[in-house]
Structure 1
Amino acid sequence: MTDTSDTRPADGAAAQAPRPRSRVLRLMRYLPLITPVLLWAVPCGMLLHTGQDWPLPVTLIGTVLFALGLVGMPYAMMRGHGRRQEDRSAIIGDTLLGGSWVLFTWTVLLGVPARIALTVAGVGEGQDRARIVTWAVLAVTALLLAWGYAEARRVPRVRRVEVRLPRLGAGLDGLRVALITDTHYGPLDRARWSARVCEKVNALDADLVCHTGDIADGTAERRRAQAAPLGTVRATHARVYVTGNHEYYSEAQGWVDLMDELGWEPLRNRHLLLERGGDTLVVAGVDDVTAESSGLAGHGAHLAGALRGADADHPVLLLAHQPKFVDEAAAGGVDLQLSGHTHGGQIWPFHYLVRLDQPALAGLTRHGDRTLLYTSRGTGFWGPPFRVFAPSEITLLVLRSPRRAA
């Protein structure tokens, strides 16, 4: 394994024009105002005030609880994720956010069609139908939240994927690449979970282990105990890491320094050469696409800098946190990009919103004539401690050469 590049961006990269903000990002600035009202008011109206005629105490208590959620959720999230950085408040706010999202989703998707179906079938009177639907929505919500919490907190299953790279030399056939990403160590202490994840990675006996960013929510100093088990990860050739967007909310350079201290190679617009059996693989990495706007000196996603000095005949494996970087990767002749960021949507149907901003949600996709993109659903979770129809994963990618021996 040879290091043949540096962290400096390509000449003129600093003068590149900033990326235009997508329509989704422009709309998202209004979400903090609109979202809480929708998440709490819609279920309150449909489950308590539309046709059920509940006893007055039930209606009053239920309305008060929804009102407390409407006020308490943004308040707790501001205290938890704002300047105060109070972990207990963050846990409360994030849990309320996830719970209200699931309740809102199934109030709309189950509640409305169920009322129509019961009416057409002639089941019960109006009030009875409304109450049946209310109990059904609450039951489905409770089951999904219990299941989603268990899914979020468990050690991820290993997902094994074979990837055929036409330019991969026969000496590199069968190269084992383990991918973890989006561990998001945060307000919920997951030090034991982190250690168990690392044990599972070590059991894969990987040649190369990659972390494609979003290590934690919080500074390296604050989340050090949860991240420390990453230092126990083993790889035959190298352990490599690139920054995610959440590092740039939490003193990114501190995370780069900590990963270096733990024995990982931060691939900040640079590459390594992985050599085996007389063949070579270029393993490159770029900072997250949000790095340039962070104001941190020397941080920015620069593919030209990452590949400077690399032999154009060698296949390239690129680490880039966000799948959207694949357009540049394809233009630059990258063979395989590894990414995370999407969490696979984390809580359905948020999947569809993610797809508005990213070219892939999860799995292996092709972009252009040469470039493959593998998008992991993530190893941990962000914010709400739930995963609904978006299981976490540790990925083992086995690289295959068309010239391998039979």
Structure 2
Amino acid sequence: MDKNKRRFLKGAALYPAAMLGGGSYGYYYERKQQVKRHYDVKYPAGLGLAGLTVAQISDVHLGRFFSLEDLRQLLQLAAADSPDILVVTGDLFDDLQKNPAAVHILDEAVDLFPKGIYFCLGNHEVYRDWGRTKKLLEKTRVHMLIGRAEKVPGTELWLAGAEYSFARDEESFRTEKAEMVQRALQDIPKEEWGQTILLAHHPEFIDDGAEMGVPLILTGHTHGGQFGAFGIPLLAAFKYNRGLVKVKDSLGYVHCGNGSWLPIRIGCPPEIAYFRLTE
């Protein structure tokens, strides 16, 4: 056997071990390490919004790989940096047996965030008997923003939440998401859209929020691809896959998620994102 072939076979023998090692790292370590990311976002001056901080979690996927205790710890970890508001951009309630207890845990956590917890709908809530979970949430202090908006008490900031589109073709999806964003903003005076944050589960709602002049659109759904290198997702299945994106004069954010369906992450840790409003 020649020298080059021997070297190749020796290297090839390392591949299974490397894959096993990477998989073990992604399963046992990285998927459980919540990274905190902080961003400043400019809003119009004179509204008193400077310094207001919004924390975002998303795609918890409560269930086999994310327990009720994990949820409780995540909420405490998010509160540790003293944000004013927590927003949840869908796919938290993903286990029929655990969803009721998760509603109770989320309600208890409202006390950790001075200006409240706000929730918008993801596709997995719909898959897991959303009607039942919705009735439970209606009895709590959690603000459900599903095709509606609320002004945050004691501030000039609006939070709006879009529904989730299940349209099957591209044209229907574009039409439906535009209608859903319009519906989410309909109770806000048009001149105040510039002092609004839009919550939506699917990242392509960023385009529609930007079209309406909303300065910040917070989304999830993609899990950041779950695999990446140097901050770039290896499985880029969506128009927007991870992190901050600039569209027109607006910023969109695609959250990497806090849980997962496939219980492994490499180069794409779960995260808590914080957005501090500036003038």
Q: TM-score range by the shorter chain?
A: 0.7 to 0.9
Letter in 2 for 1:390: C
Equivalent pair of 1:198/1:232 in contact (CA under 8 Å): no
**Structure 1 segment 1-400 matched on structure 2, within 5 A:** 124=3, 126=5, 128-129=6-7, 131-165=9-43, 167=44, 169-188=46-65, 190-219=67-96, 221-226=97-102, 228-233=104-109, 234-274=112-152, 276=154, 280-290=156-166, 302-314=180-192, 315-348=195-228, 351-354=233-236, 356-358=237-239, 360-368=240-248, 370-382=249-261, 384-400=262-278
Larger radius of gyration: 1
Q: Judging changes above 3 Å, is the alpha-carbon distance between structure 1 residues 134 and 260 closer, same or farther for their aligned structure 2 residues?
A: farther
> Structure 1, residues 18-50: CA drift from partner, whole Å, max 9, x if none?
xxxxxxxxxxxxxxxxxxxxxxxxxxxxxxxxx
SS of the counterpart of 2:158? strand
CA displacement at 1:222 relative to structure 2: 4.2
Instruction: Report the residue type matching 2:250 in the other structure.
Output: T
Write the distance in 2 (CA, Å) between the matches of 1:381 and 1:286. Answer: 22
Deviation at 1:391, TM superposition (A): 0.8
Per-residue CA distance 1:75-107 (angstroms, 9 max, x = gap): xxxxxxxxxxxxxxxxxxxxxxxxxxxxxxxxx
Residue type of the alignment partner of 2:238? D
Conserved in 1, the CA contact under 8 Å of 2:228 and 2:235? Answer: no
Structure 1 residues 47-85: Cα deviation after superposition (integer angstroms, max 9, x where no partner): xxxxxxxxxxxxxxxxxxxxxxxxxxxxxxxxxxxxxxx
Structure 1 unaligned spans of 5+: 1-121, 294-298, 402-406
CA distance in structure 2 between the aligned counterparts of 1:387 and 1:269, rounded to whole angstroms: 32
Residue type of the alignment partner of 1:373: G
Describe the superposition over 1:149-186 as per-residue Cα deviations: whole angstroms up to 9, x where unpaired: 13455251221111123x25441101110101000012
Superposition deviation, residue 123 in structure 1? 6.8
Larger CA deviation: 128-137 vs 333-342: 128-137
Counterparts in 2 of 1:125 and 1:274: CA distance versus 1, 3 Å: closer
CA RMSD of aligned residues (A): 2.7
For residue 77 of structure 2, give the secondary structure of its aligned residue in structure 1: helix
Distance 1:123 1:375, change over 3 A: farther
CA change 1:209–1:323 in 2 (3 A) is same
Q: Distance in 1 between matches of 2:49 and 2:4?
A: 69
TM-score between the two structures when normalised by the length of structure 2:
0.84
| Counterparts in 2 of 1:144 and 1:228: CA distance versus 1, 3 Å | farther
Deviation readout 1:181-203 (Å, 9 max, x if unpaired): 00001223512211111111222
Q: Check 1:184–1:230 CA distance in 2 against 1; reply closer, same or farther (3 A cut).
A: same
Deviations 1:251-296 (A, max 9, x none): 22233333334421110111011254xx611110011122899xxx
Contact preservation (8 Å) 1:182, 1:380? yes
- CA distance in 2 between counterparts of 1:289 and 1:199 reads 31
Query: What letter corresponds to residue 253 of structure 2 in structure 1?
Result: Y
Determine if contact 1:338/1:375 at 8 Å carries over to the other structure: yes
Quick one: structure 1 residues 157 and 249, their matched pair in 2 at CA, closer, same or farther if it must change by over 3 Å? same
Q: Percent of pairs identical after alignment?
A: 27
The letter of the residue matching 1:173 is: A
Assess if the C-alpha contact under 8 Å between 2:218 and 2:254 holds in 1.
yes
Could you say which structure has the greater relative contact order, defined with CA pairs below 8 angstroms and 6 or more residues apart? 2
The alpha-carbon deviation at position 333 of structure 1 amounts to 2.0
| TM-superposition CA deviations, 1:124-143 (whole Å, max 9, x none) | 364x4454233211121122
Distance 2:7 2:150 in 1: 64
In 2, Cα distance between equivalents of 1:304 and 1:367: 18
Post-superposition Cα deviations, 1:381-402, rounded to whole Å, max 9, x if no partner, equal: 22x211111011011111111x
Q: If the length of structure 1 is used for normalisation, what is the TM-score?
A: 0.60
Q: Which amino acid aligns with 1:394?
A: I
Match of 2:173 in 1: none
